[in-house]
Amino acid sequence: MTELTEDVIRRLPKTDLHVHLDGSLRIPTLIELAKERQVKLPSYTVEGLRELVFKDTYKNLPEYLEGFLYTTAVMSDAEAIERIAYEFCLDNQAEGVRYVEVRFAPQLSVRSGLSMSEVVNAVDRGLRRAAREFNVRPEIQNGTEPRFVAGMILCAMRYFEGTWSEGFGRLFEAMPEADRFELYSTASVEVARAAARLRDEGCLVVGIDLAGQEKGYPAGDHKHAYQIAHESFLGKTVHAGEDYGPESIFQAIGDLHADRIGHGTWLFSEEKIQSPIANRKAYVESLVQFVADKRITLEVCLTSNQQTVPELADDLSKHPFAEMRKRKLSTTFCTDNRLVSNTTVSREIGRAVEAFDLNAREVRDSLIYGVKRSFFPGSYLEKRQYVRQFIDFVDRILGKTESS
Q: Please check whether residue 34 is in contact with residue 41, taking contact to mean a CB–CB distance below 8 angstroms.
A: yes
Largest Cα–Cα distance of the chain, in whole Å? 67
Q: Is the pLDDT of residue 2 over 80?
A: no
Mean pLDDT of 165-174: 95
108 vs 365: CA distance, rounded Å:
36
Q: Using pLDDT thresholds of 50, 70 and 90, give the confidence band for residue 402.
A: very low
pLDDT tens, position by position, 224-246:
999 999 999 999 999 999 888 89
Fold classification of 6-26+76-398 (topology level): TIM Barrel (3.20.20)
pLDDT tens, position by position, 232-284:
999 999 999 988 889 999 999 999 999 999 999 999 999 999 888 999 999 99
Question: Of the residues 190, 242, 247, 348, which is catalytic?
Answer: 242
What residues have CB less than 8 Å from 324, skipping those under 6 apart?
A: 264, 267, 298, 300, 331
124 vs 118: CA distance, rounded Å:
10
pLDDT tens, position by position, 195-231:
999 999 999 999 999 999 898 999 999 999 999 999 9
179 vs 266: CA distance, rounded Å:
30
* Catalytic residue status for 242: yes
AA letter at 346: S
pLDDT tens, position by position, 118-130:
999 999 999 999 9
